[in-house]
Amino acid sequence: MIATGQHLPEGLLYELPETTLGVCMTQPAALKVSELAAGKNLVIFAVPGAFTPTCSAQHLPGFIQLADAFRQRGIDEIWCISVNDAYVMQAWGLAQQNRNRVRLLADGAARWTMTLGLEQDASERGLGLRSKRYAMIVHDGVVQYLAVEAPGQFEVSRAERVLEQL
């Protein structure tokens, strides 16, 4: 599993910005993690799934609500990663009235999540391979802080707890 002090591994994440909704034949952009993270101060958090109860009621909304506070403390971008496709992530952002405050990045095949060592098998709940719930603070591609939730918990990756670490 990735640890504090390590560089984010290379990988691809996919994005469909909210502004592309309704544009015929729009394909998700494949984005290299190293290029996205270069020179930036980031907060990255992951959820087990878009539109799932805790993720939709608390996790993403907390980061949307505190986006300005994170930026005031030097964070350039907030990323939300989920093992969903980019179309689902775009629809979730619209449903959550995100308005591009948090970048919703898809890891549909869980490749980057597995490279991080933060995958979980949620097959017994009908979800298949998913990401663990976590949050990290990253400076220029290097992990400065990492908090991984215990199964079924939602404490250490809350927006308020991450903000306290800055």
Q: Which residues are catalytic?
A: 55
Using the structure block, give the residue that is written with the tokens 């898809």: 106
Instruction: Report the sign of the C-alpha dihedral through residues 74, 158, 8, 100, in that order.
Output: negative
Name the nearest CA neighbour of 8 among 150, 113, 87, 86: 113
Distance CA 23, CA 19 (A): 9
Phi and psi of 53, rounded to 5°?
A: -55, -60
Q: Are 78 and 63 in contact (CB under 8 A)?
A: yes
What DSSP line would sit under 35-63, residue for residue?
HHHTT-EEEEEEES-TT-HHIIIIIHHHH
